């Protein structure tokens, strides 16, 4: 069994190699350690090894960890589905949200973001594979939601996020990643100033880096298997 510190070094090395292979700077790729369903001790090991950005999907579980670690200078990213009654806790405790899909949620996050905190960084989750049961907006909904979010002062629209379909992921299909990058470029040509492409997980982050990812979200490769409920 490798330690979390060893896994972290391997992933960092893979990111550097992938970035250089595709003529990118490794500095423009953020490693988000996805610590959902991992114990506090696992996060503490990653912190000791130098990791600062963590991704969580379950609000209550996340807030308990964030509260226990307030003495550390960490960046917390919410990456899971957002329930209406959880927006206040997210607005109060997180630096980023990657999984925004609905205007109503955006409006609540904007209202509930405490005045003393900087605007909440947000990415809109796009359903590039157009799967019926998947979280995320389609391209038409995306434009409407992006325009509306731009008007909300306590949110800062940073970019787009996606999770590929399982079949695409198994086939190492670059198309969904390309589609997300093209969508971001298309929005930027129309006046948006987005700098974040949140794509790539344990199984496909090198492929995602090849296609322009700026945030890779890695759980299993770093922490090992999580306790699924
Ligand atoms: C769990 C999760 C991840 C991490 O997945 P791994 O395959 O364990 O790396 C990344 N992104 C999202 C949105 C997740 O829910």
- Domains in the chain: boundaries: 4-223
Atom of ligand 1 minimally distant from the CA of 202: 9
Looking at every residue in the chain, the average pLDDT score rounds to 95
> Ligand 1, atom 10: nearest CA belongs to which residue?
217
Tokens read off for 46: 């990653």
Q: Which of 219, 222, 223 to mutate to test the pocket of ligand 1 (most atoms within 8 A of CB)?
A: 219
Q: Which of 55, 203, 225 to mutate to test the pocket of ligand 1 (most atoms within 8 A of CB)?
A: 55
The strand pairing partners of 54, in sequence order, are 33, 76
Query: Any idea which residue has 């945030």 for tokens?
Result: 215
Atom of ligand 1 minimally distant from the CA of 98: 13
- What SS3 class is residue 204? coil
Contact 124, 144 (CB under 8 A): no
Task: Tell me how far apart the alpha carbons of residues 15 and 68 are, in angstroms, rounded to a whole number.
Answer: 30
Is the per-residue pLDDT at 57 higher than 80?
A: yes
> 217 C-alpha vs ligand 1 centroid, how far in Å?
6
Is the C-beta atom of 135 inside 6 A of ligand 1? no
Residue 118 has, within 13 A of its CA and on its CB side, a CA count of: 7
Contact 216, 29 (CB under 8 A): yes
Contact 208, 214 (CB under 8 A): no
Calculate Rg over the CA atoms of the chain.
Answer: 17
pTM of the model: 0.96
- Greatest alpha-carbon pair distance for the chain in Å reads 49
Tokens read off for 33: 């350690």
Q: Which of 161-170, 176-185, 209-218 has the lowest mean pLDDT?
A: 161-170
What mean pLDDT is predicted for residues 157-171? 89
104 burial (CB, 10 Å; 0-12 / 13-18 / 19+) is exposed
Taking the CB of residue 217, how many other CB atoms lie within 10 A of it? 24
Is the C-beta atom of 36 inside 6 A of ligand 1? yes
What mean pLDDT is predicted for residues 13-25? 97
Q: Band of the pLDDT at 113, cuts 50, 70, 90? A: very high
Atom of ligand 1 minimally distant from the CA of 222: 9
Q: DSSP letter at 86?
A: G
Q: Band of the pLDDT at 226, cuts 50, 70, 90? A: confident
Is domain 4-223 classified as CATH 3.20.20.10? Answer: yes
């Amino acid at each position: 069994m490798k330690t979390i510190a060893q896994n972290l070094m391997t992933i960092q090395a893979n990111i550097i190699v992938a970035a250089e292979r595709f003529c990118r700077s490794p500095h423009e790729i953020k490693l988000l350690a996805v610590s959902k369903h991992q114990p506090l001790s696992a996060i503490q090991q990653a912190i000791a090894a130098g990791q600062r950005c963590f991704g969580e999907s379950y609000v209550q579980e996340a807030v308990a960890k964030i509260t226990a670690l307030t003495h550390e200078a960490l960046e917390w990213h919410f990456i899971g589905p957002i329930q209406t009654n959880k927006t206040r806790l997210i607005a109060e405790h997180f630096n980023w949200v990657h999984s925004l899909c609905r205007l109503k949620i955006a409006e609540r996050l904007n209202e509930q973001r405490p005045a003393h905190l900087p605007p909440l960084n947000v990415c809109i989750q796009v359903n590039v594979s157009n799967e019926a049961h998947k979280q995320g907006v389609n391209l038409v909904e995306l434009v409407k939601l992006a325009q509306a979010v731009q008007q909300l002062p306590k949110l800062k629209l940073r970019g787009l996020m996606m999770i590929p379909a399982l079949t695409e992921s198994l086939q190492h299909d670059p198309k969904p990643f390309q589609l997300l990058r093209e969508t971001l470029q298309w929005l930027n040509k129309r006046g948006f100033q987005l700098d974040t492409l949140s794509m790539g997980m344990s199984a496909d982050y090198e492929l995602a880096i090849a296609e322009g990812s700026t945030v890779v979200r890695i759980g299993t490769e770093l922490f090992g298997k999580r306790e699924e409920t």
